[in-house]
């Protein structure tokens, strides 16, 4: 066989040393041996690559060596571990030792076979071994081929950073064998494509265009195995292979060109760092979870946005870059779920990223440098450009704010002239028309979207037209082909992604194609799309064309793409089309009809035609291109004459009318003038009427010509409220109108009443609700109506400033509130990126075209606060939750509670259905029958997913799983979003349903239905929620909230799993955990998680060693009710020291899969199990974490052996947490373990590791292990492993080892001798085995003694009580926001900040009050009214607590009103209302459901005859609902207030002062020790003592 391949050579540094081709191994062996003579050749590779290619190399070299006549050289190979961690000093030393051992000399040639890791490491070895030996690069990853192997940079990593030590060392050859890419995982391929796209973006537009359009073809090259050495010769090379090679070569060519000009990286070479300045910073945070290319991909988009923000790069280019990177499977924003699922993703704050960029090698001084693109294929400078931090920060921030300058009037003279993005519908039509026409047309204002992009690519592919850009992409020059179209090259499919309009229009366009004369042309045109496209219907259009004589075949499923369309031309004559589904079918035929062989008569049949305006739009545009369509009056019959379109010289695409409302509204609200080009009175879009119909009435001057609109606003603040306006013809514009109405005045009550917009409830979000909720943040009142809302305007300068607007990921909400933000200072638009859907450069246009300054804002990362709804959750985390399950399983109940816990909206699909069809379900079934009902139900499901796919909780009807279509929809949704199967015992369901009649009745016994549907529910859902409403008496809210938060990205992970902290778990070794549940508070004392040893579970009367899934699920559910700690789910086999049968791997993984479905937080997986099963499990883990563990039961493993390193590497790859368990025979073995862990932790991005040695000798390792140490408890039936210690034992040992120094805690105050605090804290220390003490320190004043105490090195913290809560403040360095607001400190905490110890003052009183209320009456939520009695320091804490609960009114009563008034002023944002008496409530307000008294018990009475104290009337308990009464008075236990409550309102919860003390004490304990306080024991000690002395 001929092994001389066809080679492409590229020259670098003056030598043609880069050889590219396919299947080069024999060729490269020969070339190396004959041109680089040596005594020994050493090939270094990693295990991954070795398994595929090592033997081929060995064979080729041995064959070639045999052919040599001279002295035969040696050929050696060295296989090392894969992965970045190998690229280190030890890794280098390891290879060097090998070379020395093999007595290699200066004439050695080293071959580096592998990815960039191998290339960098081996290159560096070659650079220094014997002061430098020759080496050859044989890259096997795409990244190595196009980037790391070219340029001569070699390096290793150190703990201080990546690539910090290395050398420039040029290889003799670089052999690029693209066939290696066939075994490369696709993610690694995409990783390399990022660099390829980057290179084209900075250097070569033609190359970029090819990458843009050919993603599918390029993937084909690596997905199709090239058997029989296909591709080695040009004659056997497929189209895709040639393309792949030319892409690689193109990229290498640019890099080697740049390297040749600038070998040592001075200026030009920096250009290849496009995307890397920001990309590297992202990588530093996310490594190793995200790959380099993935981070650079995101970095490129950010950096392109920086260029766009500088006014240098056009949005067209940014859009092309985004689409191109996406086509290669790369992430393009931090919102990508691959990013947000990374453990480190929370660290992606703007400041952190800027901080990392500060040390970039490219920087000059403090200025950051970024490669600025000027267009696709060119950069702004021939080097990186200095950019201000502020601009980078703005681009990186997730929220935006508009700088408002109300002082100037300069705006008043401003006249903005601009165009807004083109209409999507018109853009698509214009492209088809211009391409089919004769002559040249300049299209202006074309919308750049997926649709238009694939449309252009397809038309080019069909040789139907040619395209060129002018003005940096603003103008598209189309040279039409006058209707001539050709079949593409054989094997080439036209790929349309998910572009719906393109698919519909092109189907008819392709039927116009005539057979091609070219020899390599295919026999039919094939159009295809992505998997979603392959489900979208095209049937009616194909039916119509087939009936007309076209030959169209479905290549996969009936009614959908892909299609094969024979090149026969269109017949014409009468064409009948069913047009009730999509008007796009109609437009598709209309657009192509003039080119049919006979004039076309198009008859629309099959019911009402939908979206007539779009058909009119098509006809109007056809007229502009010279073809006049006539419609038979009063019918749906259209006549289209034959003809050829004629291109007008220029065609300006009309602006999108909805987008146009925003700049016009800005002119209206700011009193300026704005002229919009390309939209006027001739517009076919409904929203174009906004200016005339709405803005004129609001007092604006509107001038509209045929295609231009100019609006001048009245003076700022003078917009008029307009009573009622029907916005039915322009529903999308209602949000803009609301923003204006908020500041509009006049008429009755400044009211603007917007109606006719009910459909806006089911858009991207419920827009009516969204406007109501967000306007409220500005202090603007509204009223919801059935089909709209009323907005009550206010003078603009009385609106609340600084409102933070949540946008529900809806572009229109964001842009509408931007309008308001132009005159209300400090308005924040939270998710600024949601504008990308229709106007990606909205913020830049505000700045560069409208002249407003826009800033970036980083939102606080809300974690503990109740307002967790803000921020940008990742798409997956924000995906709506769908509930399915049997009727009567409790979906509605659970869904309602879940939506409250998640602050999301709840949709009941049944209600949705009834509203949509305007009839009840039973009635629908009665009228239309079951099949029609099921079909309509599936349609509704699709619609709901489409419209409410994020941010909702959706409950589906029980029968939704009955049809395969609906099941497919659900299964498809479950690939990225949560579908929860709500499970309930069938007996309970039967008894619950009883005589329910609202929903269609079953015609069969419900148990039969249950049997049939149950497997379907399981198959469609990816989560199970077990409904235990009737089993448990208690309140299910916690359980529901924990589960639903878990599946939506807020998992309940273990505290203290972080560097520098210690965390623990207790292993439950019970066959049945139920009897142990009541001991849970004891068992879990101090720990951070509980492990459920599933292998030990045995149902009481079950046989066999494998517990049933149902039993396991019930155990998990029960455990969750008993503890709020996260669960670790472990199935240990006998071989691994557990009791699950060996050889039952599949059963074990079924249970692990079940754990994922149940939303268990941690899943322990043994890495000795099949890697396929582990990877499959990990791929579905959602927000659970995998503990990848390895147990050495042989007892022979040594921690310094290679095997541990390789197991560690494997476990780090598979899991989120690594667990390695060995066995100690001597104390020494623990030191080796400690060494290993210390080294492993030094690596950047190291995963948390659990490392312990079994056996008594190993106890030392259990003491020192930091992450999730397993502990036992005296109450457990057996230790989970030999040598296990209890939590308290470990703490004592740590103290003795000097790892946990004893601290002293104090109470400051006077008098304090009766305080319960020492009892509280010392009891806690004792139980946890902590060596600390808590003492009283009673002093006369805050003087020297306290100062000395605070300064002592062993000072751990202090409680502060009366009278020092204010006096202590001057001694502290920093106060918490709560302490600041309350104006008092009750807790002192020494903390380390920036390396210094500082004293931090906090106030936990308010937390004690809040927790007392919340835990006693969880159902109270945000009380409508609350009462505070007293006006001292405690009252301040009470108000703060009530405010944080969201109380809508806080009545404040104090005898001295002046003191109370001061309090009202101290809390300007709280709804505090002074009241003068306690027996009547302000007329507009209800009676309180929460009462907090902060005055001494002796200052109150219930006896009206005693003068002096405040008389407590019965009216205090007027509220119709039950509530909570808290008396902060510490003694006596039963105060007059509590006694009154007991008799007058026995159902109210009563909280004594000592209970609040306990609550705030728990918080103190936790902040000081980082451990949960053992409440049950502490409270018992305190209450015993309290009542003994009371």
Ligand X SMILES: NC(=O)c1ccc[n+]([C@@H]2O[C@H](COP(=O)([O-])OP(=O)(O)OC[C@H]3O[C@@H](n4cnc5c(N)ncnc54)[C@H](O)[C@@H]3O)[C@@H](O)[C@H]2O)c1
Binding residues for ligand X, per CB under 6 A? 46, 48-49, 52, 82-84, 87, 114-118, 120, 140-141, 143-144, 147-148, 151, 153, 162-163, 180, 183-184, 188, 191
1327 is an annotated ligand-binding site residue: no
Active site residue 1196: no
> Residue 146 or 667: which CB sits closer to ligand X?
146
Closest listed residue to residue 707, CA positions, set 683, 674, 673, 675: 683
CA–CA separation, 373 and 361 (whole Å): 20
Judging by DSSP bridges, how do beta strands 1249-1254 and 1217-1223 pair with one another?
parallel
Q: What is the SS3 assignment for 756?
A: coil
Min CB(81)–ligand X separation in Å: 9
Q: What is the closest distance, in whole angstroms, from the C-beta atom of residue 222 to ligand X in the complex?
A: 10
CB 371, min distance to ligand X, A = 16
| DSSP labels, 507-522 | HHHHHT-B---STTB-
The answer to whether 1011 is annotated as binding is no
Give the CA count within 13 Å in the CB-facing half-sphere of 44: 31
592 catalytic, yes or no?
A: no
The verdict on whether residue 379 carries a ligand-binding annotation is: no
> Which residue of the set 23, 368, 448, 1191 is catalytic?
1191
Contact 1432, 1407 (CB under 8 A): no
Catalytic residue, candidates 280, 981, 1207, 1321:
280
Give the separation between CA 53 and CA 58, rounded to whole angstroms.
9
Is 295 labeled as catalytic in the residue annotation? no
Closer residue to ligand X in complex, CB, 67/1172? 1172
Q: Would you say 885 is a known binding-site residue? A: yes
Taking the C-alpha atoms of residue 753 and residue 742, their distance in angstroms, rounded to an integer, is 11
Residue 1165: phi and psi, rounded to 5, are -125, 130
Catalytic annotation, pick one of 1219, 1223, 1273, 1321: 1219
188 is in an annotated binding site: no
The least CB distance from residue 381 to ligand X, in Å, is 22
CB of 177 to ligand X, least distance (A): 9
Smallest separation (angstroms) from ligand X to the CB of 935: 47
CB nearer to ligand X: pick between 156 and 419? 156
d(CA 1558, CA 903): 30
Is 197 labelled as part of a ligand binding site? Answer: yes
Which is nearer to ligand X, 114 or 977 (by Cβ)? Answer: 114
- How far, CA to CA in Å, does 1513 sit from each of 1081, 1204, 1460, 1540? 41, 74, 20, 9
Q: Considering all CA atoms of the chain, what is the largest pairwise distance in Å, rounded to the nearest integer?
A: 124
DSSP alpha helices (H): ranges in 856-905? 875-878, 891-902
C-alpha triplet 34, 35, 38: angle, nearest 5°: 80
The residue (of 223 and 801) whose beta carbon lies closer to ligand X is 223
609 annotated to bind ligand? no
Catalytic residue among 96, 265, 677, 943: 265
CB of 175 to ligand X, least distance (A): 13
Please give the backbone phi and psi of residue 598, each rounded to the nearest 5 degrees, phi first: -125, 155
Judging by beta carbons within 10 Å of its beta carbon (0-12, 13-18, 19+), is residue 985 exposed, middle or buried? middle
Cα distance between residue 678 and residue 676, in whole Å: 7
Q: Tell me whether residue 151 or residue 895 sits nearer to ligand X (CB atom).
A: 151
**CA 544-548-549 angle, 5° bins:** 125
Q: Is 1199 within 8 Å of 1165 (Cβ atoms)?
A: no
Nearest C-alpha neighbor of 579 from the set 530, 635, 621, 497: 635
834 is an active site residue: yes
Tokens of 1051: 């998992």
Give dist(CA 1492, CA 1556) in Å, integer. Answer: 11
- Per DSSP, the three-state class of 894 is helix
Is the CB of 46 or the CB of 947 nearer to ligand X? 46
Our answer to whether residue 1273 is catalytic in this structure is no
CA–CA distance, 1071 with 1112 (Å, rounded to integer): 11
Residue placing its CB nearer to ligand X in the complex, 141 or 950 = 141
Cα-only R_g, the chain: 36
- Residue 958 annotated in ligand binding: no
Q: How far apart are CA 984 and CA 1294, in angstroms?
A: 47
- Residue 291 or 1221 with smaller CB distance to ligand X: 291
- What φ, ψ does residue 1584 adopt, rounded to 5°? -55, -50
Distance of CA 1464 to the CA centre of its chain: 41
Write down the catalytic residue from 324, 592, 834, 1020: 834
Minimum CB–partner distance for residue 225 and ligand X (Å): 13
Q: Is 1330 annotated as a binding residue?
A: no
Q: Residue 199: CA atoms inside 13 Å, Cβ hemisphere, count? A: 25
For residues 764 and 946, what is the distance between their CA atoms, to the nearest angstrom? 8
Residue 195, annotated as binding a ligand: yes
What would the two tokens of residue 737 be?
Answer: 């109108």
Which residues lie across from 1526 on neighbouring strands?
A: 1492, 1551
- Asked whether the bond before 1363 is cis by omega within 30 degrees of 0, the reply is yes
Question: Is 43 marked as binding a ligand?
Answer: no
Q: Give the up-direction half-sphere exposure of residue 458: CA atoms within 13 A in the CB hemisphere.
A: 32
Q: Tell whether residue 916 is among the known ligand binding residues.
A: no
CA distance 849 to 956: 47
Is position 806 annotated in a ligand binding site? no
Q: How far is the CB of 157 from ligand X (least distance, A)?
A: 7
* Nearest CB to ligand X, comparing residues 84 and 1216: 84
Nearer to ligand X (CB atom), residue 116 or residue 977: 116
CA nearest 1553: which of 1511, 1500, 1480, 1508? Answer: 1500
With respect to ligand X, which residue has the nearer C-beta, 115 or 1248?
Answer: 115
Closest approach of ligand X to the CB of residue 79, in Å? 11
Residue 583 labelled as part of a binding site: no
Helical H runs in 805-908?
Answer: 811-821, 842-848, 875-878, 891-902
For 234, half-sphere exposure in the C-beta direction (CA atoms, 13 angstrom radius) is: 4
The nearest distance, CB 553 to ligand X, in angstroms, is 37
- Check whether 115 is labelled as a binding-site residue: yes
Please state, in angstroms and rounded to a whole number, the distance separating the CA atoms of residues 657 and 663.
11
- Work out how close the CB of 115 gets to ligand X at its nearest, in angstroms, rounded to a whole number: 2
Strand order through the sheet with 979-983: 905-908, 952-955, 881-884, 979-983, 1023-1026
Catalytic residues: 265, 280, 834, 1191, 1219
Q: Which residues are annotated as a binding site for NAD(+)?
A: 46-48, 84-87, 115-117, 120, 140-141, 162, 180-183, 191
Q: Which residues are annotated as a binding site for Zn(2+)?
A: 195, 276, 292
Q: Which residues are annotated as a binding site?
A: 46-48, 84-87, 115-117, 120, 131, 140-141, 147, 153, 162-163, 180-183, 191, 195-198, 255, 269-273, 276, 292, 361, 885-892
């Amino acid at each position: 066989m001929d092994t001389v391949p066809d080679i492409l050579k590229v020259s670098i540094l003056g030598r043609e040393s880069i050889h590219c081709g396919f299947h080069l191994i024999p060729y490269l062996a020969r070339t190396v041996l004959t041109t680089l003579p040596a005594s020994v050749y050493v090939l270094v590779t990693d295990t991954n690559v070795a398994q595929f290619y090592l033997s081929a190399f060995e064979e080729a070299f041995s064959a070639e060596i045999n052919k040599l006549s001279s002295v035969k050289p040696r050929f050696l190979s060295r296989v090392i571990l894969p992965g970045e961690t190998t690229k280190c000093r030890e890794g280098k030393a390891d290879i060097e030792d090998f070379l020395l051992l093999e007595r290699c000399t200066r004439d050695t040639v080293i071959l580096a076979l592998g990815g960039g890791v191998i290339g960098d490491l081996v290159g560096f070895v070659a650079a220094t071994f014997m002061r430098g030996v020759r080496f050859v690069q044989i890259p096997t990853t795409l990244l190595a081929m196009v980037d790391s192997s070219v340029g001569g940079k070699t390096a290793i990593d150190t703990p201080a950073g990546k690539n910090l030590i290395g050398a420039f060392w040029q290889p003799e050859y670089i052999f690029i064998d693209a066939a290696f890419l066939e075994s490369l995982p696709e993610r690694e391929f995409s990783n390399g494509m990022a660099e390829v796209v980057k290179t084209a973006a900075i250097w070569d537009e033609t190359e970029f265009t090819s990458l843009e359009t050919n993603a599918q073809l390029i993937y084909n090259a690596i997905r199709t195995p090239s058997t029989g050495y296909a591709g080695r010769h040009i004659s056997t090379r497929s189209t895709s292979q040639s393309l792949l090679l030319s892409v690689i070569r193109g990229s290498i060519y640019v890099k080697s060109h740049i390297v040749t000009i600038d070998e040592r990286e001075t200026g030009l070479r920096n250009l290849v760092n496009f995307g890397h300045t920001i990309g590297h910073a992202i990588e530093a945070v996310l490594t190793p979870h995200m790959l380099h290319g993935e981070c650079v991909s995101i970095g490129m988009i950010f950096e392109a946005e920086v260029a766009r923000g500088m006014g240098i790069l056009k949005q067209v280019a940014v859009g092309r870059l985004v689409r191109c990177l996406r086509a290669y499977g790369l992430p393009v924003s931090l919102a990508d779920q691959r990013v947000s699922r990374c453990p480190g993703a929370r660290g992606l704050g703007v400041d952190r990223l800027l901080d990392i960029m500060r040390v970039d090698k490219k920087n000059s001084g403090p200025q950051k440098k970024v490669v600025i693109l000027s267009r696709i294929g060119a950069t702004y400078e021939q080097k990186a450009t200095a950019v201000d931090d502020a601009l980078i920060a703005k681009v990186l921030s997730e929220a935006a704010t508009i700088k408002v300058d109300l002082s100037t009037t300069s705006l008043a003279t401003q006249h903005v002239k601009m165009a807004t993005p083109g209409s999507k519908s018109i853009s698509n039509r214009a492209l088809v028309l211009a391409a089919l026409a004769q002559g040249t047309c300049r299209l202006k204002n074309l919308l750049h979207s997926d649709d238009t992009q694939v449309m252009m690519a397809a038309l080019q592919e069909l040789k139907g037209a040619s395209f060129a850009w002018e003005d940096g992409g603003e103008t598209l020059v189309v040279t039409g082909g006058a209707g001539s179209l050709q079949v593409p090259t054989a094997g080439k499919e036209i790929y349309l992604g998910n572009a719906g309009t393109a698919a519909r229009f092109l189907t008819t366009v392709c039927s116009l194609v005539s057979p091609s004369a070219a020899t390599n042309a295919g026999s039919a045109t094939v159009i295809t799309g992505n998997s979603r496209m392959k489900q979208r219907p095209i049937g009616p259009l194909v039916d119509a064309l087939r009936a007309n004589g076209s030959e169209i075949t479905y290549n996969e499923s009936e009614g959908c793409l892909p299609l094969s369309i024979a090149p026969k031309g269109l017949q014409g004559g009468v064409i009948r089309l069913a047009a009730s589904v999509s008007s796009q079918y109609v437009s598709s035929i209309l657009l192509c009809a003039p080119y049919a062989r006979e004039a076309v008569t198009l008859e629309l049949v099959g019911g009402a035609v939908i979206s007539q305006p779009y058909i009119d739009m098509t006809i109007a545009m056809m007229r502009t291109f010279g073809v006049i369509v006539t419609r038979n009056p009063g019918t749906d019959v259209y006549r289209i004459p034959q003809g050829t379109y004629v291109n007008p010289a220029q065609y300006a695409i009309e602006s999108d009318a909805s987008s146009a409302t925003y700049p016009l509204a800005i002119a209206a609200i700011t009193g300026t003038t704005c002229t919009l080009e390309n939209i006027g009175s001739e517009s076919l879009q409904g929203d174009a009427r906004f200016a005339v119909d709405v803005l004129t009435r609001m007092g604006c001057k509107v001038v509209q010509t045929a295609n231009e609109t100019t609006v001048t606003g009245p003076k700022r603040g003078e917009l008029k409220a307009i009573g009622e306006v029907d916005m039915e013809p322009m529903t999308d514009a209602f949000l803009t109108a609301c923003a204006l109405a908020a500041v509009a005045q006049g008429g009755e009550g400044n009211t603007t009443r917007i109606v006719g917009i009910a459909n806006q409830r089911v858009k991207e979000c419920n827009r009516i609700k969204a406007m109501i909720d967000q306007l409220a943040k500005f202090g603007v009142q509204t009223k919801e109506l059935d089909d709209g809302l009323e907005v009550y305007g206010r003078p603009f300068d009385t609106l609340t400033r600084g409102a933070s607007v949540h946008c529900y990921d809806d572009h229109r909400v964001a842009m509408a509130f931007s309008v308001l933000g132009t005159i209300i200072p400090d308005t924040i638009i939270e998710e600024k990126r949601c504008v990308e859907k229709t106007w990606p450069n909205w913020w830049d246009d505000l700045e560069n075209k409208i002249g407003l300054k826009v800033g970036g804002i980083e939102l606080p990362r809300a974690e503990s606060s109740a307002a967790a709804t803000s921020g940008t959750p990742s798409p997956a985390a924000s995906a709506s939750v769908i509930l399915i399950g049997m009727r009567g399983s409790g979906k509605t109940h659970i869904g309602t509670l879940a939506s409250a816990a998640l602050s999301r909206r709840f949709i009941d699909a049944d209600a949705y259905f009834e509203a949509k069809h305007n009839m009840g379900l039973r009635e629908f079934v009665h009228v239309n029958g079951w099949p029609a009902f099921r079909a309509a139900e599936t349609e509704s499901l699709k619609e709901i997913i489409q419209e409410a796919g994020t941010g909702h909780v959706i409950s589906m009807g029980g029968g939704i799983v009955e049809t395969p279509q609906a099941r497919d929809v659900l299964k498809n949704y479950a690939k990225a979003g949560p579908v929860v199967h709500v499970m309930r015992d069938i007996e309970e369901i039967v008894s619950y349903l009883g005589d329910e009649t609202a929903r269609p009745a079953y015609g069969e016994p419900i148990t039969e239905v249950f049997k049939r549907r149950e497997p379907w529910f399981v198959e469609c859902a990816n989560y199970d929620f077990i409904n235990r409403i009737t089993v448990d008496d208690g309140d299910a809210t916690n359980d529901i909230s924990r589960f639903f938060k878990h599946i939506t990205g807020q998992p309940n992970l273990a505290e203290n799993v972080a560097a520098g902290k210690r965390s623990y778990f207790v292993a439950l070794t019970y066959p049945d955990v139920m009897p142990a549940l009541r001991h849970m508070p004891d068992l879990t004392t101090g720990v951070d998680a509980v492990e459920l040893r599933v292998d030990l579970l045995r149902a009481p009367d079950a046989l066999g060693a494998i517990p049933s899934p149902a039993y396991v699920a019930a155990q998990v559910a029960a455990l969750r009710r008993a503890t709020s700690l996260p669960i670790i789910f472990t199935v240990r086999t006998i071989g691994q020291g557990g009791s699950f049968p060996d050889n039952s791997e599949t059963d074990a993984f079924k249970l692990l899969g079940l754990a994922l479905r149940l939303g268990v937080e941690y899943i322990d997986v043994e890495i000795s199990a099949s890697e396929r099963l582990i990877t499959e499990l990990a791929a579905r883990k959602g927000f659970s974490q995998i503990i990848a563990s390895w147990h050495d039961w042989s007892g022979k493993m040594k921690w310094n052996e290679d095997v541990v390193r390789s197991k560690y590497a494997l476990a780090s790859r598979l899991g989120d947490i690594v667990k390695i368990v060995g066995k100690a025979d001597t104390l020494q073995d623990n030191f080796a373990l400690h060494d290993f862990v210390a080294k492993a932790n030094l690596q950047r991005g190291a995963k948390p590791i659990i490392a312990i040695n079994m056996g008594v000798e190993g106890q030392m390792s259990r003491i020192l292990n930091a992450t999730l140490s397993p502990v036992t408890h005296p109450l457990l039936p057996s230790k989970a492993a030999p040598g296990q210690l209890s939590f308290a034992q470990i703490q004592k040992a740590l103290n003795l080892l000097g790892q946990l120094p004893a601290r002293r805690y104090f109470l400051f105050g006077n008098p304090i001798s009766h305080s319960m605090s020492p009892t509280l804290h010392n009891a806690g220390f004792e139980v946890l085995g902590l060596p600390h003490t808590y003492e009283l320190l009673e002093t006369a004043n805050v003087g020297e003694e306290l100062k000395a105490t605070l300064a002592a090195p062993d000072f751990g913290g202090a409680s502060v009580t009366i009278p020092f809560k204010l006096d202590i403040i001057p001694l502290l360095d920093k106060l918490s926001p709560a302490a600041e607001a309350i104006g008092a400190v009750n807790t002192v905490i020494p903390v380390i900040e920036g390396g210094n110890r500082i004293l931090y003052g906090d106030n936990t009183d308010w937390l004690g009050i809040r927790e007392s209320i919340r835990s006693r009456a969880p159902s109270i939520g945000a009380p409508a009214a609350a009462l505070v009695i007293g006006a001292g320091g405690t009252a301040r804490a009470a108000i703060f607590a009530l405010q944080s609960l969201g109380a809508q009114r806080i009545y404040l009563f104090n005898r001295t009103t002046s003191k109370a008034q001061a309090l009202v002023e101290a809390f300007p944002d709280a709804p505090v209302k002074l009241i003068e008496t306690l027996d009547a409530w302000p007329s507009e307000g209800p009676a309180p459901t929460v009462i907090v008294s902060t005055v001494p018990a002796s200052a109150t009475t219930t006896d009206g005859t005693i003068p002096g104290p405040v008389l407590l009337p019965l009216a205090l308990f007027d509220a119709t609902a039950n509530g909570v009464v808290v008396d902060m008075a510490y003694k006596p236990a039963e105060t007059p207030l509590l006694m009154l409550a007991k008799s007058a309102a026995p159902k109210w919860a009563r909280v004594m002062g000592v209970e609040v003390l306990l609550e705030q004490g728990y918080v103190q304990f936790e902040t000081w020790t980082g451990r949960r306080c053992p409440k049950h024991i502490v409270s018992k000690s305190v209450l015993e003592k309290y009542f003994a002395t009371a």
